[in-house]
Chains A and B, each alone.
Chain A
Amino acid sequence: MAEVIRASLLIFDGLLALTLVGVAWQLLFGQGLFRSVLLFIALGLLLSLTWVRLGAPDVALAEAAIGAGVTGALLLVTLGRLRRMATGHARDRGKGS
């Protein structure tokens, strides 16, 4: 029984490690900023799971609260400001011509 649990945990770890790399690839080389930001938040939560698997619950707590939570909010608000600036730019250019 213990062997089965150990083997399935090893498979879980392998899948988790592959998922991390896949999500990182998609967020860095995919199209669309909003998609990248959402995938980055998802990556933070997956990393939090990874830290638990590596026996570091303190780091997992910090990652979930800071890495995924606060950084995610920061990125989303920056994206909103970028979009507002982009529409402002377009409007100014429209007025100028």
Chain B
Amino acid sequence: MNPRPLSLLSGGLSALLALLLVSALWDTPVHEGVSASVAGAMGHTGVAHPVTAVLLDFRAYDTLLEMAVVLLAVLATWSLGRCDTLPARPVQGPVMRGGLRHLIPLAVLTGGYLIWAGGAGSGGAFQGGAVLAASGVMWVLAWPRRPDLPAPLGLRVGVTLGVAVFLAIGVAGLPLGPGFMGYPPGWSYGLILTVETAAACSIALSLVLLFLGGRPWRDAEDG
């Protein structure tokens, strides 16, 4: 089929889909959803912020699988081959490196604050991890020819840390009573903070490795 009629057909069908979606959404009744159930269950969890409670406690299973997806993405890009050098020229002069020397501690502080703040307000593991990842990306860009990365074993441990800690705490709930992915009463806050810290570190490292776009070591170095 020629591009022109194909484009018209796709446009027409898309417009039809838009009309159908609008007419479907028009009639949806307004209801409170499950916010009342979440508000009622907040007493059973250790954190005060509903979104964090949903992510790390009520629907912890989703979050575990989400971190498994991030891990899978890293493994998929690694299996596609070694990363080539970044298409960036090294920045001359002291400004970028000197600036990074002040900016990276600040980013680590901000990321850590966001993880901790998730217990009581807006923030959490993903936001904190993303801030850490941004500083990692800048670190890599400061030395684009030869990024100073940990050894392959360190990278593997770092990338799996979040899933491993989450799964260990989740499985520990089985013999201890609260069941799979449950927290023992009174321990929720500490355990949620532990899981969030491990998750944020893993997500930050994973995002930097996804930015590199491939396995950052040669096959000979493997091991």
**Residues of chain A at the chain B interface (Cβ within 8 Å):** 57-58, 61-62, 65-66, 69-70, 73-74, 77-78, 80-81, 83-84
Contact = CB atoms under 8 A, between A and B. Distances in A.
Contacts of B88: 77, 80
B134 to A, nearest CB: 5
A58 B122 contact: yes
Interface in B128-146: 130-131, 133-134, 137
Contacts of A74: 210-211
Interface residues of B, number: 20
Interface of B: 51, 84, 86-88, 114, 122-124, 126-127, 130-131, 133-134, 137, 207, 210-211, 213
Contacts of A66: 126, 130, 207
Contacts of A78: 213
Question: Which residue among A77, A81, A83 has the maximum number of chain B CB atoms within 10 Å of its CB?
Answer: A77
A80 B87 contact: yes
Contact of B122 (A61, A69, A77, A80): A61
A62 to B, nearest CB: 5
Given A78-B213, A80-B88, 18 more contacts: A57-B122, A58-B124, A61-B123, A62-B126, A65-B127, A65-B130, A65-B131, A66-B130, A66-B207, A69-B130, A69-B134, A70-B207, A73-B134, A73-B211, A74-B211, A77-B86, A77-B87, A80-B87
B25 to A, nearest CB: 14
A70 B114 contact: no
A84 B85 CA distance: 11
